[in-house]
Amino acid sequence: MVEIEKLQEKLGEALGLEIAAQKAVEELGSKGLLDKNGVITQLKKMQSQAGNHQSKLEEVVQNLADGSDELDPTKVQQVAQETAQKCSSMMQTYLGLDPDSSEAIEFLCLAEGGEVTHYEVLAAMSKKLNGKMKDINHY
C-alpha cells in the first residue's frame, strides 16, 4: 500500500512545479529575458503544456479522491501552493539582481528536470495503486 500522505505530498509538489513553470515563463518573458533566437515561441509551448499537465494532475487527484475518502485534495492543493512559492523564491535566488537570458533559460530547464523526476516517483507509486492512477507520465 502506498502511504497516502506521501502520495498527497508528491502529487502536490508535481502540481506546484507545473504552476510555477507557467508563472516563470510569464515573469521571465515579461522581463524580456526570453527574446533570444525565438526561444519565447518554444517556451510558450512549454507553458501551455504545463497548463495541460496541471489539468491532468488535477483530474488524477480528483479521481483518487472520488475513489477513496483517504486522499484529501485540499492537502494536495496546499502542498502545490507551497511548492510554487518555494520555486519562485528559488528562481529569485538563482537569477540574482541582474539576470541574463541564458540564466533565465537555465532555470527553466532545471525546473523542467524537477518535474520529470517527480513524475517518475509518481509513476512508481502508481504501480502500487493497481491502476487507480493511470496516465501519470510527463509527456
The DSSP result for 1-18, as a single string, is: ---HHHHHHHHHHHHHHH
Looking at beta carbons only, is 8 or 47 nearer to Fe ion?
47
Site residues for Fe ion per CB under 5 A:
18, 50, 53, 115
Based on CB atoms, which residue is closest to Fe ion, 13 or 18? 18
The least distance separating Fe ion from the CB of residue 121, rounded to whole angstroms, comes to 14
Q: Which residue is nearest to Fe ion (CB)?
A: 53
Instruction: Supply 47's cell numbers.
Output: 507553458
Q: Please say which residue, 3 or 116, places its beta carbon nearer to Fe ion.
A: 116
Nearest-approach distance from CB 118 to Fe ion, in angstroms: 9
Rounded CA-CA distance 112/66 in Å is 29
**Using only C-alpha atoms, what is the Rg of the chain?**
16
